[in-house]
Amino acid sequence: MTGQPAGVPAAQVSAVIAWAARLSAAPAGTIETAAYLTAKAAVLERIAAERAAGGWPGEDIAAARQAAARARESADAAALLAAAGITVMKED
């Protein structure tokens, strides 16, 4: 074992992208939205770790970490809405 994080399988990235496409085509409830955002955050976190371990430029690592953090924050917010019984996220 090299101590480097495992790469993100292309199939996992594709699954998250396909999920995003389905959600944008039809409204989804907060539970599914939270699940999608959690999966997205997990993929982005693994990409950030892979970039850090691979010696990518600092700004690329920082961008990946920021994207992962934003996705995690959104997932947490959607999960809180779902837990509160709010089933639909509304945009103003």
CB 27 within 8 A of CB 87: no
What does the pLDDT look like over 35-44, one tens digit per residue?
999 999 999 9
1 confidence band (pLDDT: 50, 70, 90): very low
Residue 19: count of CB within 10 angstroms of its CB: 17
pTM here is 0.82
The rounded mean pLDDT for the chain is 89
Confidence of residue 63 (pLDDT cuts 50, 70, 90): very high
Measured in Å, how far apart are the chain's first and last C-alpha atoms? 49
- Nearest Cα residue to 67 out of 13, 10, 7: 13
Place of tokens 């409204």: 27
